[in-house]
Amino acid sequence: MSTLLVSHQACLAHDTGEYHPECADRLKAVNHVLEHEDFSFLFRDQAPRASREQLARAHSAGHIDRVMAAVPSSGLVEVDPDTMLSPGSGEAALRSAGAVCFAVDEVATGKCRNAFCAVRPPGHHAERERAMGFCLFSNAAIGALHARDAHGCRKVAVVDFDVHHGNGTQQVLWTEPGMFYASTHQQDAYPYSGSADETGQAGTSVVVNVPLPAGSGSEAFRAAYTDVILPALAAFSPDFLIISAGFDGHAADPMAHFRLQVADFDWITRQLLGLAAGHCGGRVVSVLEGGYETRALAACVAAHLRALMDG
């Protein structure tokens, strides 16, 4: 079995306007690096649209309708000061969420070992009733709930190493039984959530937040996983693991103030894969979140995918 890459051209048509950091150039840079011969053995497939049933596991009918109704026929529409819609945004959002559900299907049924979803818009800030922070639908949470409801996974984990806290993923999963959400992120940075005392509710989800100060580098990042998150994840013993793969913690990224290097993303990917091998048969789906310096993003995605391919 090999690693599956899921993407769709529609994700390039989500236009966020001039100078917006979450732009199509991000995905173009990823697509370019994936042309390298190292990735010639990837399985590749097109993302389907997410169904309304899949979206509704994470979002209310009202939220789904508001997002799709707000998509303009021309020009740009501002959802919040950070989040834009263009004529191509609705299709891109449906393909992004659909990619994760499709990847879960392929991994859960043993058609591939693991998968990476190279999609945009990202999802981890989208709450049940609110689009925000570049995000329209909560892609990772939608995938986690799909693994539970469509494939009978009793315990599903989402681990988020984006430099920003995934408030949306956490909020969507907060009251869901059998869910685990863990995040490292820069404290006192957008969206100003994810304190260590946000730990979930008894009998529902398990939440583990490790905020780190601005300027944190490899040592602090790796210690957060080695000392806190990986032991908690092992104790949870997931049936399925979803990675919210944000690469904006790289030292070159302009959106925050971590000092991570490509090697750190290779390291955390391999740590998570090792744990998944021991607890859920290596069943892992990763979905792209942040990463806004395109050269650093491409290098980090390449390292992440090489680790996935090594399994």
Q: CA triplet 41, 269, 136: central angle to 5 degrees?
A: 90
DSSP 8-state code for residue 190: T
Alpha-helical segments (H) within 71-192: 89-108, 139-151, 167-173
- Vertex 148: Cα angle to 112 and 54 (nearest 5): 90
- In angstroms, the CA 203 to CA 250 distance is 36
Helices 262-279 & 294-310, crossing angle to 10 degrees?
30
Tokens of 277: 């091998």
The catalytic site residues sit at: 125
User: 209 pairs with which residues across the strands?
Assistant: 183
Tokens standing for residue 14: 């989500």
Residue 110: Cβ within 10 Å count: 10
Give dist(CA 99, CA 222) in Å, integer: 29
**What gap in Å lies between CA 260 and CA 222, rounded to an integer?**
10
